[in-house]
Structure 1
């Protein structure tokens, strides 16, 4: 691997991943603020004890409430921002996930192979090549974890918005037209989830599947290499 390739894979490529993760976390923050505004808007209109039970303790905290039109607009803007992020980074996320999973398998295999060659595995990290493999493996695991966990956090918070509004409507004996309109907007909006260019959903289950697949391939490669 040339020097320019090292610069790209060690510095530039993680920056692209970091940019996606930061934008996803901004969306997560936006949905957190929206959910808090919904709680603050609904809580004063009902019994605080019931709100605390059904909507959570934060529903009874004082704060500046918003009107329902602002909540609808904020929800639509957040969903539109998620669509733009998905369209812009979809193929990049797919390539990054493929590269991270394959790189994690190769790096871990190099470490296992180096350990199996040494009679004294205690000082194995003193070898330069083994340290490089360890750095690569940590980098790939970090990228995979950062992308999957950030996307999963956004999807979870967006799903919480729908649940909050549904429970808020159930709390009102006669929900007004504004609250009903907010419920329709939130319910009819598609479920927010990030995909790797439409191939696979990026969430916590993908992280677990990728780690399981990497471990399986690592065991198979180790067994095959031990037979030759």
Structure 2
């Protein structure tokens, strides 16, 4: 809609048994200027505020991103490292990921509750995913070139999640050289709500096969999968 230029998001809503899942892929504001992380935070707010789903085929379909049970948000979130370029490259060479993460904008914004309040991200134990020379394992700037913009390495590509019953099994990057980014991936184990009609009938002492669609159960109830 012309609001965010070439930045924005695509969101998908789906139902898995009785659980509502949402997947958001976004490209947030780029840049490493002072305060740029605030623009990225604002992008997240606008995407959350402006995203609405159609309920034409399902009257119980959640209409917004937060109204889902389990949500996954990923893509080029563009958060950078608040460190001098030389220090970043030194710590990358030493594989001191914890020292780098302590200066990561998204990590700090998450910790302070300024964005993605209550969301989670897995442990990062892989090199920054941006910015590489095309078809190369060298970060841009390792070999200075005249007129080339300085780009410090950073974990721009991230995967976050929100909701109960989510366990991350792995969080990694792929060594694919088709872009100036290295793509990231994650595998999750999800607990979803499934109605067991046999137990439901027995609990309600109902002899017919009909089950009222509006009955809601406590999430701690024991159901067989």
TM-score range, shorter chain: under 0.3
TM value normalised by structure 1: 0.27
The answer to which structure, 1 or 2, has the higher relative contact order (CA under 8 A, 6+ apart) is 1
State which structure, 1 or 2, has the greater radius of gyration over its C-alpha atoms: 1
* Greater helix share, structure number: 1
Higher strand share: 2
